[in-house]
Amino acid sequence: MADAPDIYPVLNYKDGKAGLDFLKSVLGFTAIAEHANEAGEIYHAELRFGDGVIMVSGNRTPDPANPWSTATFGTYVYVEDVDAQYERAKAAGAEIIMDIRDMDYGAREYSLKDAEGNFWSFGTYKPSL
């Protein structure tokens, strides 16, 4: 894979380790990155299948400031100019569920729901492949 893709499906499992084990052993995904907390629970992982990449997280404590903490599926899209993309979505009347902000892992991003309630995040994070 010459370049990382710009669009990533995001799966949130109640048990991140079990989700990763299934994706790797049953479906043949390969781990690119796995991040666990002090208790060994997966909170973020990146997996490859062919030229595709998905992001996976484990169960998180519900956080009103982060709607993704209770979502089961969504899509993350890398954009170079996330501020311009945010302004475009906001001006078009999108339902912003997480205002644009700088994240503790160095990315700048925001989230919205589409007309059917699907979660989308747009940001400057891109996995290193």
Pairing of strands 108-113, 42-49: unpaired
Three-state DSSP state, 35: strand
| Residue 1 included in any domain | no
| Residue 16 included in any domain | yes
Rounded Cα–Cα distance for residues 93 and 16 (Å): 34
**In CATH, what number is assigned to the domain containing residue 94?**
3.10.180.10
Residue numbers of the domain that contains 91: 7-123
| Residue 109 included in any domain | yes
Q: Write down the pTM of the prediction.
A: 0.84
| Residue 2 included in any domain | no
1 pLDDT band, cuts 50/70/90, is very low
Average pLDDT over residues 28-52: 91
Three-state DSSP state, 12: strand
pLDDT, the chain, mean: 90
| Residue 75 included in any domain | yes
| Residue 21 included in any domain | yes
Q: Is the pLDDT of residue 92 over 50?
A: yes
2 pLDDT band, cuts 50/70/90, is low
Percent share of the chain, pLDDT over 70: 97
Q: Please state which of the ranges 44-48, 58-62, 104-108, 121-125 shows the lowest mean pLDDT.
A: 58-62
Percent share of the chain, pLDDT over 90: 61
Total domain count, the chain? 1
Q: How confident is the model over 43-90, as pLDDT tens digits?
A: 889 999 998 999 998 877 788 877 887 888 999 999 999 999 999 999
Pairing of strands 52-57, 42-49: antiparallel
